[in-house]
Amino acid sequence: MIQLKNVSYSYRKGFELANIDLTIEDGEFVFLIGPTGSGKTTLLSLMYLDIFPESGKVTVGDFDSDTIKKRQIPKLRRSIGLISQSYHLLEDRNLFENVALPLHVIGHNQNDISDAVEETLDGVNLAGLEDHFPHELSGGEQQRACLARALIKEPDIILADEPTGNLDPVTSFDLIKLLEKINNEGTTVFMASHNYSLIKSRNHRIVEMHNGIIRGK
């Protein structure tokens, strides 16, 4: 479960998130909709504790922002799969190495890693592209590679920050269907987007954000 209780956060430049209350249950698929600059990325950053709230409390699974120790943050992030608009794929590593990285971080052995990468790439329709480097992949393939990297460690939660931002409508739609498939297997998905037309037809809860304030829940 993800829970934000009366959370506030402000940047020096003046923008702030004010008194956010939000709960996402385990296994839920929730869209976060709002215009660019409304605070969606800040809200997601609070959820994986890249930033800490100035007031209020963020709870993600067994961890919360009030009591978590610095050394526990990597452990929290291992339970979360992050997907972002800018992919964050490593240009000097091929697809296999990019996707395998989280398992190296956790400390899996090489045989398990090879099997898991193969299986995960197959699941996101990237089988056969293991030796390709990110610049050799299309935008959609890069985003699916990013998704594969998030999925390989079998996270409890997927946080997706504008994952369709750089994709065409067809590829965007395919990605959402893929996320729904993952959600059906029990993973909680929280996806931020500014493209309402893309998500309105999906049968999921929509949370609306505007100028740092949550409107619909």
Residues making contact with other proteins (CB under 8 A): 48, 71, 74-78, 80, 82, 88-92, 101-102, 104-110, 149, 153
Between 68 and 198, whose beta carbon lies closer to other proteins? 68
Query: C-beta of 42: minimal distance to other proteins in Å?
Result: 16
CA distance 199 to 121: 25
Between 149 and 212, whose beta carbon lies closer to other proteins? 149
CA distance 147 to 175: 9
CA distance 24 to 193: 17
CA distance 163 to 27: 19
Residue with tokens 């990019």: 98
Between 34 and 77, whose beta carbon lies closer to other proteins? 77
Q: How many CA atoms lie within 13 A of 159 on its CB side?
A: 21
Query: C-beta of 201: minimal distance to other proteins in Å?
Result: 30
Query: C-beta of 88: minimal distance to other proteins in Å?
Result: 5
Please say whether the beta carbons of 32 and 43 come within 8 A: yes
Between 32 and 89, whose beta carbon lies closer to other proteins? 89
Query: C-beta of 91: minimal distance to other proteins in Å?
Result: 8
